[in-house]
Structure formats: C-alpha cells, structure tokens
Amino acid sequence: MTKRISSAWPYMGAAAGTMLACGMILAAGETIFSVTFDSQSNRSLFRNKSRSAFAQHDPAHRAAEDTQAQLWFEQTRHAEQIRSYDGLKLHAWRFDANTAAPLPHTHAICMHGYTGGPEEMAPWAYHYANLGMRVLVPAQRAHELSEGRFVGMGWLEREDLLRWVNSIVARDPDARILLHGNSMGAATILDVCADPRLARNVVCAVVDSGFSSEYDQMLDSVSAMLHLPKWMAKPMVDCASLVNRLSLGFGFRQANAIEQLHRTTLPILFIQGDQDDIVSPHMLGRLYTACASPVKARLQVHGAGHILGLTTDRNLYWSTVDAFLRRCLHMAD
C-alpha cells in the first residue's frame, strides 16, 4: 500500500501543479478584465492613467499649435444626449460649422480613444468645422459625462455610434456623414463599417491607429506589459476573453475588424504612425488589405507614435485627409 502511494506522488504533484497554473491563469484573466474593461475598478487604467502609457495622449500633451482648437472646443460647444441600447445616458458635444459658407447637410462624428475624452478630439473637430461641417464629438460609454461602468474596446460602442448617426439623420434626412475615430474610436468605426443597420448617410470614414481585432490587440498589450512571449500571454488573454463573455456578452475574437472590412463598401482612409508603441504598426497593412471597399487609402506617418501622426507631420496628415474627403464628399479644392 505504501509503495502504491509513493508511486502516485509524481502524478499528484503534477495534478497539483496543473491546478495551481490554471488558478494563476484564471486570476490573471480576471485581473486583465478588471484593469482594462472595468472603469470603476481601483486597479483599472482609468483610475491609474497618470502612470500608464495612455497618459501621453491627454490634451495636456498636445502640441502648442492646438491651443486655438482647444479654446474653440471649450467656448463654442453645445451639449447633446441620447440613450444607449442598454439604457445609459450618453453625452456628446455638438459644434456648428466654423465658416461663413457651411457645406450643405455635411456632418462629422469624431470618436475619441480609450480612457480619453471628447476634448482630445478638438484638433480634428476644429479642422472639420473649418471645412464647413457640423461636428458631433461623443463621449464613449464610461468616459467623461457618459454613463457606464464597462468599456468594450469598440464592440459595445458600435451600438452607441449607430444611435449617434441616427440622431443626426433624424434631424437631417439628407445628411452626409463622415466618421473619424482614433484608436478605440477607430475600432468603434471598424466594428460597425459593415453593419447593415448603419445609415446610408454615412459616406466615408477616417480611422487613425485602429487595430485588427480586440483579441490581437489584447494579446499584444498583455505580452508587452508583462514582458512575456505571446504563447505565454495567450492563455491569460483567452481567460480574460471568457470573463469578458460572461460579464459583457462577447468574446474578444468576436470583435474582429478584419471580418467587418471583408464585407464593407464604405470608403475608408487608414492612418497610423510607424513608431506606434500601443497598436502594432503592421496592423495598418492588415486593415488596408482586408478592406473590400472600392475606395480606400492609407497613410503611414514616419516617426509618429500612437495617434501622433497629426502632430508629427501636420501638413502631410491634413493634405491626405482633405484629398480623401474631396474624393468622397465631392468638396471643392
């Protein structure tokens, strides 16, 4: 009997080790979820933003030449509010065209990034308003004045964007709408670009620093943050995806921009910096290649970090965007 017990020890040890490893992976998955998606968690990136890589994208870090845009944003905005599909009050700032000759029925919706807020979109909103567009800058759920506890990295937010689009169309049935998104705002647009519910009034999109899928982005982020090879980070991300599915109703692989792009006909301009340390620069090529739209373009800004294409090469950025808009909106030079 003693001999049998002794011979079983290696198997019992292996089983205990496996259980311990599974427990650690489960704990890591739950931590990833609370840190990334739960804005009210004490350990979330929302509450610890000053110590995170996202801090550099705050409005305080914008280049000095954006001061005029920030002042315009603060002084001319009007509040808008709608209800989300799940009952949240969603807030946005609305701006009139900043020109004596507005473009008829032309609107822009500017979507901010993860842990940010509408004010970070001031340079983009200001530019589009100066072109003659009416501009709407929503606060994504759980950001700024919008209600909500959890974020969906674009997948939940796509439902909110559909409602913002519909709110414009309800007031202006002849509206022509440009969608512009940065980072998670770009993901929000990409996740809805092939949705049959998206109003035909949306005529084009500009996506800056978007990612190919939520799973790909989480795997890259966890691997980088924990300094682990991706094969070691993968079980943790898989577990976090399961926690996300149980908590928010979807897994990371479901939020797949590549699959949406395979079916879209929406004209899209893709932009990214080649020194992006948050969203891998190779995603620019993946997104562009996957896009089935007959009208598409891309711009990689040399030397630019995450969402920093505009401040790195302002002339190149806006000349590319404006050329794309002239093509899609039939704007005069």
Q: What is the pLDDT of residues 12-27, one digit of tens each?
A: 343 334 444 445 566 7
pTM given for the model: 0.89
Domain of residue 284: give its range: 51-213+255-329
In a domain? residue 316: yes
In a domain? residue 30: no
26-45 pLDDT, tens digit each: 677 789 999 999 999 988 88
Band of residue 65 on the pLDDT scale cut at 50, 70, 90: low
| Cα–Cα distance, 269 to 257 (Å, whole number) | 14
29 in Cβ contact with 239 (< 8 Å)? yes
In this model, does residue 63 exceed pLDDT 50?
no
In a domain? residue 205: yes
In this model, does residue 332 exceed pLDDT 80?
no
73-126 pLDDT, tens digit each: 999 999 999 999 999 999 999 999 999 999 999 999 999 999 999 999 999 999
In a domain? residue 239: no
Say which CATH number the domain at 312 has.
3.40.50.1820
162-205 pLDDT, tens digit each: 999 999 999 999 999 999 999 999 999 999 999 999 999 999 99
In a domain? residue 23: no
In a domain? residue 264: yes
pLDDT at residue number 11: 39
Residues 6+ apart with CB under 8 A from 10: none
Query: pLDDT: is 119 or 5 the higher one?
Result: 119
In a domain? residue 154: yes
pLDDT at residue number 48: 78
DSSP string, 263-324: H--S-EEEEEETT-SSS-THHHHHHHHH---SSEEEEEETT--TT-HHHH-HHHHHHHHHHH
Domain tally, the chain: 1
In a domain? residue 189: yes
